[in-house]
Structure 1
């Protein structure tokens, strides 16, 4: 697919404002400078399980984007799509085999231990569910690896940010909301600051104080 500078019309993003998966997509849309319309889906009212929404994503999950005649769910798939279609520089998703594979490694980590560790602990806290010790064990194992990896690197792949950084950012940055401290991980905290300093960065809203307590 030949990269385009901008979509023909604003991309529609179906999101839940406190979803890290949705924030990945919103952050990348902003970093690319793409026009988009955010459409909130109230998970607490089960709007993601309505027939209308299930027609967009049969798995009943956010995010979903609509870009012209393309309807696409899954945050990792959406990041790949946006990078391939709207980044003419190719820097957000390398085309050479090793770089592409390295990005995929981190997309897998974002979909696996990042979600199942700090992501799951955060969701449990936000929705008043019991946390399992395993969540914190997975988080500690992941963050030890990530912190060591970032000791000699500024970004996850290559010399400039890629969608690997975008995929890993949100649930890492918001890990403290699930009781997972980032204080032991100085290299991770420096990396988060680098992402937050990118032109076009947008933060995910913090949860209400009651939910974060």
Structure 2
């Protein structure tokens, strides 16, 4: 049967959920939601998600509308092993820590840029915004200096969550491979995977194209 995902390809949280389904082998029905046409504001959509955000997951009678909650649910329910989201309390806490970091730091930095450029018509990127991205790269480099991946020495859902945002941020400000060698290597390795090429590459490019369109129009 699979699950339903209400998404838009350029959305990093949407891409993270599609990446997770792809890599875990979870069949899903992709239901596009066009934000520019207001499809996220229809009564039917608001009934599913009063926050009118994407993505939304439907699995039988369960509806979830936070990407990190969705990733955790998918890993708990469908992963063949617990490595993606460990059941051990301390190991899971480390994954949660990086998921919360993604919300508070990575997501926030991209959200500020997309909000002011797309919704407020800002035509230039503020230096403060770029400095914040550089700071975020430094945090990631510190994480990857302690573990092979973001939250552990193996891949977890934290990697997929952050990957979807970083592949957009790098268009805005490329990762300096000399200054952040571990972050650059982590990113390039993930970008080369079949699942990232299938479920993330085009969407990341589309969001960059959209930002450039608003910056130059």
Deviation at 1:126, TM superposition (A): 5.5
1:173 aligns with 2:173: no
Deviation at 1:150, TM superposition (A): 1.4
**Bigger mean CA offset, 149-158 vs 137-146:** 149-158
The one of 176, 181, 186 aligned to 1:186: 181
State whether residues 18 and 204 of structure 1, in contact with CA within 8 Å, keep that contact through their aligned partners in structure 2: no
**Bigger mean CA offset, 105-114 vs 127-136:** 127-136
**Bigger mean CA offset, 53-62 vs 152-161:** 152-161
User: 2:200 aligns to what SS in structure 1?
Assistant: coil
Could you tell me which residue of structure 1 aligns to residue 147 of structure 2?
Answer: 153
- Where does structure 1 lack aligned partners over 5 or more consecutive residues? 1-8
Could you tell me which residue of structure 1 aligns to residue 136 of structure 2?
Answer: 142
TM-score of the pair, normalised by structure 1: 0.86
Cα gap change, 1:181 to 1:126, in 2 (>3 Å): farther
- Greater share of helix: 2
Could you tell me which residue of structure 2 aligns to residue 18 of structure 1?
Answer: 10
**Bigger mean CA offset, 38-47 vs 118-127:** 118-127
Could you tell me which residue of structure 1 aligns to residue 91 of structure 2?
Answer: 99
State whether residues 114 and 211 of structure 2, in contact with CA within 8 Å, keep that contact through their aligned partners in structure 1: no
**Alignment partners' CA distance in 2, 1:170 and 1:22:** 9
Could you tell me which residue of structure 2 aligns to residue 85 of structure 1?
Answer: 77
Q: How many residues align?
A: 204
- Where does structure 2 lack aligned partners over 5 or more consecutive residues? none
**Alignment partners' CA distance in 2, 1:125 and 1:185:** 27
State whether residues 16 and 40 of structure 1, in contact with CA within 8 Å, keep that contact through their aligned partners in structure 2: yes
Cα gap change, 1:197 to 1:209, in 2 (>3 Å): closer
Could you tell me which residue of structure 1 aligns to residue 200 of structure 2?
Answer: 203
Q: Please give the root-mean-square deviation of Cα atoms over the aligned residues, in Å.
A: 2.1
User: 1:44 aligns to what SS in structure 2?
Assistant: helix
1:121 aligns with 2:116: no
Could you tell me which residue of structure 1 aligns to residue 34 of structure 2?
Answer: 42
